[in-house]
Amino acid sequence: MQALLAVVVTWLSINLGLPATGEAPRVELATPAQMAAVRYGRLVAAQPERMESRHAMTESFEDVFAIYDDASRTIYLHEDWTGTTPADSSLLVHEMVHHLQNMAGMTFACPGEREKDAYRAQRAWLELFDRTLEGEFGIDPMTLLVRTSCGM
């Protein structure tokens, strides 16, 4: 895993201009419920007045395959992740962007703005293998626009 992380950091630094860091993130496999708990905690801290029921939040994470936690500097990958496919490795690329953003102390107007570089990197990585975000994850251009915008 360390060799793959080093390749990804170098690739991101060269292709996106993100500052490389010598500190690798922790990487753990997790269930959707565990990833929901990480994200749910983040959402409660950011917007407690807008939270839905915990049950509804957990159900909405069944299609989450990876998440990065700034505080623990940990990338959580879906428990079935193997890293053997372009789609799998693109998830690591996406989350590694967030790690590099975090380590560089970058700030963003909203969570969507933070996602722009992550999706741009993931798309470019998949294109190396003649794959697309839409083909691998069902993320069409409109979905991408919504996920990378600040309050449309």
Residue 152 lies in a domain: no
Residue 122 lies in a domain: no
Give the integer Cα–Cα distance in Å for 60 and 127: 28
At residue 54, the pLDDT reads: 46
Residue 121 lies in a domain: no
Residue 36 lies in a domain: yes
Residue 130 lies in a domain: no
Residue 133 lies in a domain: no
pLDDT exceeds cutoff 60 at 13 = yes
- Residues of the domain holding 62: 2-108
Per the CB < 8 A criterion, the answer to whether 35 and 67 are in contact is: yes
Number of domains in the chain: 1
For 148, the token pair is 């990378």
Q: Which helix (H) or strand (E) holds 80?
A: none
Q: Using one digit for the tens of pLDDT, what is the confidence trace for 53-62?
A: 444 444 455 6
Higher pLDDT: 115 or 50? It is: 115
Q: Which residues of 112-145 are buried (b: 16+ CB within 10 A; e: fewer)?
A: bebbebbbbbbbebbeeeebebeebbebeeeebe
Q: Using one digit for the tens of pLDDT, what is the confidence trace for 40-77?
A: 776 544 554 544 544 444 445 566 889 999 999 999 99
Residue 61 lies in a domain: yes
Residue 148 lies in a domain: no
